[in-house]
Chains A and B, each alone.
Chain A
């Protein structure tokens, strides 16, 4: 007769500095077909399989139209895949949920709510008491650098500030995974760099799993542990590049670092070699 190990036996953790690598997201043979008005269907994603570990910062990099955002929406549960399935923490994804928090390029803030109202929205929806939600939200607003703007409406903020609010609003309901859909794509270069730095600083605190969609090679290399390169028509995974650069990362240090430069150049070359750049973008 077999004796099952008791719970305490299983729970003994090795004395490691980092969390043991457990799987957070599993994408299993996902394909996505869009029906177009011209009657011939468009294969946006073709047989994508990808595993993302807990606490990893993973970028999906590719030209526009390669279906990288669609893949993110499938993980978010906003879009149902035509074939295949996606799982988060072993559970099949059937729809959106507070365990996966999106941040969109379009900000998608609630314009009728103040900055504080936007950030408090999630916690209040999750049943956190008013006073507690407000205190947490004020702390988050300070963390993203918007102290003093609590009572402003979104229309009164710049693009960079709006994206800071959107990030705080999503962090406020403590998702396990951050789904970032070209979050800095609509910002000017200067604002973009500052937000990348701030995002990394915030991420260093609790190292949530991040799935980050971008078409910028240096953004992907700077931020990520892993870069998933995609090609288009149909959207496929070309290659997965592990970015072995020390953390915490500082942009000014990295720009001088030959290893960083090599990652950027290698990835750009791989895109150049493919036919992707010859297609109109």
Chain B
């Protein structure tokens, strides 16, 4: 009985994917619309895209921009968030700035940024950077704020300086919260990556998608959606694996995984 349950639990994500494809297939048949290909047609178009050298270079260029934007954002946001969480002065300086930037859709800044930096890599990486920064800063800030005062006192009694306490106590203690922010940031990086390429049509995965849309190649449009979605799932699953390993010490014993890892 338990063995059956384990198998069902393991297969559940796969079954959900197959179910989605089945619904898609049926809906497409039912609507019989040229701009809505069947799931099978879309899947059949995937090898053609992945086999095309030009398309692969585009997708890799997208991933590269995303990686750089994400990496720079995380490197700067974590220290800033931690400092804000531990220093009232730093928090009250940066909080209003962040409150202004937070509700603005980062893609909406794209046209202005393009005016400054052109349509190249730099503009897109900047938009990705902005998209990733806010959740990472916010979660680092919350994580650092929640660190128990007595834990810091214990460190101080052992002779840790203020800087050492920030790096060796606040950082690890806030790590679960920081990584939650990074996970949100990773998905946002993918989203802003595609939207930036949609606005600055020059290269990348988003460019393939919207070019195909212009040409009426709807099977390619949907194939690209599947490819981008799969990239998101893979990145998230890889990140979850790393996150779980890093914060094993804080995880509750039983939880329902909200990822494919």
Contacts and interface: CB of A to CB of B under 8 A. Distances in A.
Given A110-B169, A112-B250, A96 B156 contact: yes
Instruction: Specify which of B150, B154, B248, B250 lies most central, judged by the most chain A CB atoms within 10 Å of its CB.
Output: B154
A126 B148 contact: no
A140 B164 CA distance: 25
Contacts of B150: 102, 104, 106, 108
Contact of A111 (B157, B158, B160, B173): B173
B103 interface: no
Given A104-B150, A111-B173, A112-B175, A122 B158 contact: yes
Given A108-B151, A112-B173, A97 B157 contact: yes
B172 interface: yes
Contacts of B160: 125
Contacts of A122: 158
Interface string A78-115: 10000000000000000111101110101011111100
B249 A125 contact: no
A108 B250 CA distance: 14
A67 interface: no
A173 interface: yes
Interface residues of A, number: 30
A153 B176 CA distance: 15
Contacts of A77: 156
B153 interface: yes
B157 A155 contact: no
B249 A112 contact: yes
B153 A76 contact: yes
B96 interface: no
Interface residues of B, number: 18
B159 A126 contact: yes
A175 interface: yes
A121 interface: yes
B244 to A, nearest CB: 14
B173 A98 contact: no
Nearest to A98: B159
Nearest to A154: B249
Contacts of A104: 150, 153-154
A170 B157 CA distance: 9
A20 to B, nearest CB: 28
Contacts of A100: 157
A169 B247 CA distance: 22
20 contacts: A76-B153, A78-B156, A96-B156, A96-B157, A98-B158, A100-B157, A102-B153, A104-B153, A106-B148, A106-B150, A108-B151, A108-B154, A121-B158, A122-B158, A125-B158, A126-B159, A153-B248, A153-B249, A155-B249, A175-B157
Given A155-B250, A170-B157, 18 more contacts: A76-B153, A76-B157, A96-B153, A96-B157, A97-B159, A98-B157, A102-B154, A108-B154, A112-B172, A112-B249, A112-B250, A121-B158, A125-B158, A126-B159, A153-B248, A154-B249, A173-B158, A175-B157
Interface of B: 148, 150-151, 153-154, 156-160, 169, 172-173, 175, 247-250
Interface of A: 73, 76-78, 95-98, 100-102, 104, 106, 108-113, 121-122, 125-126, 153-155, 169-170, 173, 175
**Closest 4 A/B residue pairs (Cβ):** A108-B150, A96-B156, A122-B158, A104-B150
